[in-house]
Amino acid sequence: MATDYRPEDIKVLKGLEAVRMRPGMYIGSTGKSGLHHLLYEIVDNSIDEAMAGVCDRIRVILHEDGSAEVEDNGRGIPVEVHPETGKSTLETVMTTLHAGGKFSSSAYKVSGGLHGVGASVVNALSEVMEVWVRRNGKVYYQKYSRGEPLCEVRELGETTEHGTTVRFKPDPEIFSTTEFDPDVIENRLRELAFLNPGLTIEFEDRINDYKTTFYYDGGIKEFINYILKNNNLKSLHETIHVSGTYEDIKIEVAFVYTALQDEEKIYSFVNNIRTIDHGTHVTAFRNVLTRLLNDYGKSLGYLRKDDSFQGEDVREGLVAIVNVLMPNPEFEGQTKGRLGSESAGTAVTKIVRERLTELFEINRGLLKTILERVQESKRAREEARKVRELVKRKSAFEGAQLPGKLADCVTNDVEKSELFIVEGDSAGGSAKQARDREFQAILPLRGKILNVEKSSMQKLLNNEQIKDIIYAIGTGIGERFDRSKLRYGKIIIMTDADIDGAHIRVLLLTFFFRYMRPLIEEGRIYIAVAPLYKIQLTDRTLYLYSDEEYQALMKELNGSEKIVEVQRYKGLGEMNPEQLWETTMNPVTRRLICVTIENAEEADALFEILMGEDTQERKNFIERHALKVTYLDV
């Protein structure tokens, strides 16, 4: 770097050179979003004509050569000589930064264009740009390249029409892509049609031979219905629409609540410009709605005097559109992503509070529906907070001592170790004696465990048997599940071969599916198949695992061998350690069933046991979680 800093080192950029050198300052980026911003700048100028009441039709065309065209039937850009520049006003607007009708309140009361840079920036960043103006019974034309005029403004002929047509081709020297996305453009034009009832917007994509027309009389109320349908949402009440004007600022808000347990969907606009990052108008709407619902919540008994709805309670499930029309809006940046005008927030607060108060005083049924929805969100938030605090306090049971009933194994090799969850202390005692201490651990449970599907998280975490299972497995549960802390490669459910055993098994499977699902997905949850019969023949002992096997054996023997003894086990506790090892725990001879998420019919049978006679509740559960369990012999 030179040590001398001289006057000639200072570069003075002329005309539109600054735009070409630093395009991101004007359109945000030189990627896809910046490319579309060019088109929106021209469309916004036509929309401003519509807001001024002098335009009711706009046409947007994507041409085969990669250029885009915007035509309107507005007043047409003036072509007469501008008194300050000495050039045609058309050329002045298209080639000079900060030159436009948006600075004069006589030309536009409100407009999306603010800085007077839109058309000239598009010109500067276009390989070619052409403009046709229909005005004063004449058609005028001028052509440009990269911001410089290629000819004088000339008259082409006569016409009875009026308006402006702009066609431009983005400069490949500037943009990483020059291919417009028709879906993105179509969505933006649809928004503009909703925001300007009575305006017809035609869109033609000649590259893909596609045409469509947007025209809506219902305004933003119709926009809300479109959003609900497009997102497959069901509203809890009729769409609320309020509007009014305060100090030359026109406010229009439409909103509705849905059952969606998720953050709000708010679409905000200022002078038809989508404010993606919202701003003062949206903040004001959120705040006034929250305060108003808190006031009514306390007066109508939905809240205690010392309690309140939080902003997140009010926002959950909310779908809203906030539309503001105002003179001289203050945006943060040329791309107009966020509104900074404090006056807009003041206007929204005043108008929304007044109109909603009037509405809620008349329609108490509507108010009750909204308050109940917000109250439901509040309960869910408080329950989630209690759970987070409980989980944080217990740290998902990390560092806790292992359950006293757990008989742990010796090996530290997770993939070789097994945890048997055994029904009852009696069977647990036999299993502890039968096991191979090197790799088999035993955790006995007493009676039926908690049905977690019908219990809160707080109740689950306070249940001793559930805590023992979580302590023993070591991974934690739910969002805090940590696969790296798994202590056993196989978790084997070992219950009696009767209906009570099946019930306990399904309760355990429900817990694993709901709170340790990765263990099922990895194929780490197993069911030990215990024998139902012991058949002692003269010279051998047979174990049978079902009534069908027993009947088949009786038919096969048919008196050929003498049956010394038939024992039907009522439970695992009736087996001595040697029998339990031989039939259920020995890796060589045992039968295990791996639980996977695949087969709905067998899940249906399992959860019929779990949910009892409440068939509808069972079906709702399976549908809600899409649980599919199949048993695979291994």
- Looking at the annotation, which residues are catalytic? 423, 496, 498, 500
Matching residue, tokens 């202590």: 487
Specify burial of residue 14 (Cβ count, 10 A radius: 0-12, 13-18, 19+). exposed
3-state secondary structure 1-57: CCCCCCHHHCCCCCCCHHHHHCCHHHHCCCCHHHHHHHHHHHHHHHHHHHHCCCCCE
Query: What is d(CA 169, CA 125) in angstroms, rounded to the nearest whole number?
Result: 9
Is-contact 44 33, C-beta < 8 A?
A: no
3-state secondary structure 184-250: HHHHHHHHHHHHCCCCEEEEEECCCCEEEEECCCCHHHHHHHHHHHHCCCCECCCCEEEEEEECCEE
Longest dimension (CA), the chain: 122
> Which residues, 6 or more positions from 271, have their beta carbon under 8 angstroms from its beta carbon?
48, 51, 110, 111, 112, 324, 325, 326, 329
Matching residue, tokens 């006056």: 343
Query: What is d(CA 165, CA 406) in angstroms, rounded to the nearest whole number?
Result: 81
Helix (H, G, I), strand (E, B) or coil at 181: coil
* C-alpha separations of 164 from 19, 79, 168, 189, 468 in Å: 24, 11, 13, 18, 76
* C-alpha separations of 417 from 414, 437, 511 in Å: 5, 10, 21
